[in-house]
Amino acid sequence: MILHLAAFTWADDVTADDVAELTAALEEMAAGIPALRSYRCGESLRLRPGGADYGVAAVVDDEAGLSAYLDSAAHAAVYERLLGRMIATRAAVQLPVPDGTRV
């Protein structure tokens, strides 16, 4: 399995309503993508200083599943409608998840 993590810092004009709309759109999108084994998204809890404003964690079976998720029309639509204009910075990483590991 693969764990895909993305962290976003928002542009200055992003509002709480924008973030709530994005979260709803991402959760709806994820529900329609069979390649996703697990999906979480939301605002940072800010339990430590620094870091990003928002994060996404997606678990897929393999590279094909990652491509099915990231290259999907639904993902592109959320990016075009909401996410693209909200981002000041983005960082992403993909990590291997060993068999039998809980994520």
**Domains along the sequence of the chain with CATH:** 2-96 (3.30.70.100)
Here the tokens at position 53 are: 């404003």
pLDDT at 14: 98
Ramachandran quadrant class, 100 (left: phi over 0; alpha: psi -120 to 50; beta: rest):
left
pLDDT at 41: 98
pLDDT at 11: 98
pLDDT at residue 99 is higher than 90: no
Q: What are the beta bridge partners of residue 6?
A: 56, 92
Mean pLDDT, rounded, of the chain: 96
pLDDT at 98: 87
Strands (E), 1-103: 2-10, 36-43, 54-60, 87-96
pLDDT at residue 103 is higher than 90: no
Ramachandran quadrant class, 91 (left: phi over 0; alpha: psi -120 to 50; beta: rest):
beta
pLDDT at residue 28 is higher than 80: yes
**How does residue 20 score in pLDDT terms, banded at 50, 70 and 90?**
very high
% pLDDT > 90, the chain: 93
Residues 6+ apart with CB under 8 A from 35: 60, 61, 64, 65, 66, 68, 69
Residues 6+ apart with CB under 8 A from 70: 4
Q: Cα 38–40–44 angle (5° rounding)?
A: 155
